[in-house]
Amino acid sequence: MASSQRDVIDFSALEKELQGAIESERRYRRENDAKLRAVNQRVSYDQFRNLVLSSHLKPLDKNDKDGAPRKQPWNPVAPPHKDQQHSS
């Protein structure tokens, strides 16, 4: 028997599809939980929408302090500040 091209399983594509489905399910559950919390709080539509849109955000830890060194710049695409360009 000769194996055809259809019988070959592309495991990397299958894994990508699985990871996409898992992330989609997590997003659905996170947003649905936010919707249920917002309904229980009896908020306006704008507040409801903002709560759902911000459901992916996580609260700050006690170790997160203002003035602490940042691990990532706010906008890595923006050109450096003028003072930083001429500081050689």
Structural contact between residues 17 and 3, judged by C-beta atoms closer than 8 angstroms? no
Q: Which domain holds residue 48?
A: 11-57
- pLDDT of the residue at 64: 72
- The total domain count for the chain is 1
Q: Is the per-residue pLDDT at 88 higher than 50?
A: no
38: how many CB neighbours lie within 10 A of its CB?
19
* pLDDT at 66 (0 to 100): 72
What is the arithmetic mean of pLDDT over 18-26?
97
The one-letter code for the residue type at 26 is R
The span from the CA of 41 to the CA of 35, in Å, is 10
Distance (Å, rounded) from C-alpha 47 to C-alpha 8?
50
Q: What is the pLDDT of residue 87?
A: 45
Q: Is residue 30 part of a domain?
A: yes
For residue 4, tell me if it sits in a domain.
no
> What are the pLDDT digits (tens) for 25-76?
999 999 999 999 999 999 999 999 999 999 998 887 777 777 667 677 677 7
Question: Is residue 50 one of the residues assigned to a domain?
Answer: yes
In a domain, 18, yes or no: yes
> pLDDT at position 5, please?
66
15 located within any domain: yes
Identify the band that residue 83 occupies on the pLDDT scale cut at 50, 70 and 90. low
Whether 19 is in a domain gets the answer yes
Is the pTM here over 0.75, yes or no?
A: no
Q: Answer whether 38's CB lies under 8 Å from 51's CB.
A: yes
